[in-house]
Structure 1
Amino acid sequence: MQTLVTETRGIAQLITLNKPRQHNAISLQMVDELLRQLDEAERDPALRALVLRGAGGNFCAGGDIGDMLAARQSAADGDSHAFFQLNRRFGELLQKFNHSRLVVIALLEGAVMGGGFGLACIADIAIATADTKFSLPETRLGLPPAQIAPFVVARLGLSQARRLALSGATIGGHQALEIGLAHQLVEDAEMLEETLEKQLQSVRACAPGALAATKQLLLASAQVSSDEDLNQLLDRGAAVFSDAIQGCEGLEGARAFLEKRAAEWQC
């Protein structure tokens, strides 16, 4: 890998976006490497969480200008799909991370812009420093936030998404916390590490299968638009619950509760 640094820490895979000179701008190569890391992490039964962060004091400042220039040259050479493919590939990344069985944790500091904003929106748990700067600058560049828009709306609601995307405004950590973009605010990078360890302890206490099932049910709940959808989801939930309570994790959870001890998830 040339754009990422990885580390396994117990139940978590830590992935650091590692292009500090470009404020960790996302290139196609980085997208490919992130997808490869996600695939490897999801196939490791020992992992329950995936942590995203940026090197050099910034999370991610958006798309890589080098890829934009290369796509422009390809378009000039007759490839009419160059920009479509460049843009759509990042949407695939967001979608796969959003639906991962793993708990995705984002440590946010410095610049969180454009595509970085999108990554923050698909994090199950987002922890930011108070001085982090969040921005959707695309419209100021003559562009729409095409791939991140659905994830921004899902995270913030349509009203806040409109406010930020249609003004290109920059907000700080406190506003991000108020609107639900960040879930927890800390004072500095050192506290990011301390808070991450506490979050991983919480995730470690949860059963891997129950975490994955819960995440999928929550995502499906956000898509319910009719009584028919709701009935189908409740049926699905009952089936998942039935399997879980009769399975290894459910039995261990019940035993641990009755014996007043921490559960040991070794299924």
Structure 2
Amino acid sequence: MDLPETTTLLLRRESGVLHLTLNRPDARNALNATMVAELNAVFDAIAADATIRVVVLRGADGHFCAGADLKEMMAGGLKAPTAGEADPVERWSRSFGAMLRKAGSLPAVLIAVCEGAVLGGGFGFACVSDIALAHREAKFGMPETTRGLPPAQIAPFVVERIGLTQARRLCLTGAQFRGSEALALGLVHACFDDEAGLQAQLADTLQQVLRCAPQANAVTKDIILKVARMDMDAVLDDAAAKFAVCVRGAEAPEGIAAFMQKRQPRWAS
């Protein structure tokens, strides 16, 4: 499936891996309305394309994402809508939450490369990723409350990622911290010190993901994400039905045969 044309994103496909780069370097890759709309469209396309097995999300020129583009938001005007009129600020905010949810629920594995500024919306991307790698000196934080704003669409994903207690501390203080502390919090999974270290970790991570069957990974991710969002019996019933479909699908016979024959399954070779 073709990916949409974009002006704020760089897209590069490579053997089942889509490298998606936020590309507003002059603004430290801050999210404006155009970027949010383009990300929503790209995530819709990825979700419909089974050939994309991994998405590597990174920012251009050494910064991941500095959050929302507040200059653009303020320039757009803050006049309250008239009766019966949709609130454009509310609509923009909600579109950002929709984008984060799409990113987190992609059938493909989402790897976030966190370096430089990982603030606000960038912090949100780290929280919805399946795997997050961080530069040891990357700067994480949610400064929204220091700007007189709530991290409205980000906070729920922060709670899911690191728990209520730490989410309350970070959201209500606007505290900023480095990648090494993000690792200790469980926000990210590994740290790197330089580009060579990142590329080594990324190559190893991609190798591990790509040896897993793509449909099995997509189904597993769907089951995991339903925990705490559905009644546990409903989660287990749904998981059992998905397991039965996978047993009778194309991947399980190949994966089991490869294991018995001591070879790589075809999706990993």
TM-score grouping bracket, smaller chain normalisation: over 0.9
CA contact (8 A) 1:71 1:86 kept: no
Query: What's the TM-score, normalizing by structure 1?
Result: 0.93
How far apart, CA to CA, are the structure 2 residues paired with 1:171 and 1:77?
38
How far apart, CA to CA, are the structure 1 residues paired with 2:127 and 2:32?
19
Aligned with residue 20 of structure 1, among 8, 17, 25: 25
Which residue of structure 1 aligns with residue 267 of structure 2? 265
* Mapped pair 1:252 → 2:226: no
* Mapped pair 1:2 → 2:7: yes
How far apart, CA to CA, are the structure 2 residues paired with 1:80 and 1:247?
46
1:154-184 Cα distance to aligned partner (Å, 9 max, x none): 0010001011111100011111001111111
CA contact (8 A) 2:57 2:111 kept: yes
What are the ranges of 5 or more consecutive residues in structure 2 without an aligned counterpart?
A: 1-5
The amino acid across from 2:255 in the alignment is G
Which residue of structure 2 aligns with residue 194 of structure 1? 200
The amino acid across from 2:155 in the alignment is A
Which residue of structure 2 aligns with residue 115 of structure 1? 121
Alignment of 1:1-267 (within 5 A): 1-73=6-78, 75=79, 81-224=87-230, 229-265=231-267
Q: CA deviation at 1:203?
A: 1.1
How far apart, CA to CA, are the structure 2 residues paired with 1:18 and 1:31?
12
Q: CA deviation at 1:243?
A: 1.4
The amino acid across from 2:67 in the alignment is G
CA contact (8 A) 2:81 2:87 kept: no
Q: CA deviation at 1:80?
A: 6.8
CA contact (8 A) 2:67 2:122 kept: yes
The amino acid across from 1:97 in the alignment is A
Q: CA deviation at 1:67?
A: 2.9
Moved over 4 A (4+): 76-80
Q: CA deviation at 1:104?
A: 0.6
How far apart, CA to CA, are the structure 2 residues paired with 1:31 and 1:89?
7
How far apart, CA to CA, are the structure 2 residues paired with 1:248 and 1:71?
51
The amino acid across from 1:134 in the alignment is F
The amino acid across from 1:189 in the alignment is E
How far apart, CA to CA, are the structure 2 residues paired with 1:265 and 1:80?
47
SS of the equivalent of 1:15 reads: strand
Q: CA deviation at 1:76?
A: 6.3
Percent identity, aligned pairs only, is 44
Q: For the structure 1 residues 218 and 77, does the alpha-carbon distance in structure 2 shift closer, same or farther, using more than 3 Å as the test?
A: closer
Query: What's the TM-score, normalizing by structure 2?
Result: 0.93
Give the stretch that moved more between structures: 186-195 or 59-68. Answer: 186-195
SS of the equivalent of 2:266 reads: coil
Q: CA deviation at 1:43?
A: 2.6
CA contact (8 A) 1:109 1:189 kept: no
The amino acid across from 2:124 in the alignment is G
What are the ranges of 5 or more consecutive residues in structure 1 without an aligned counterpart?
A: none
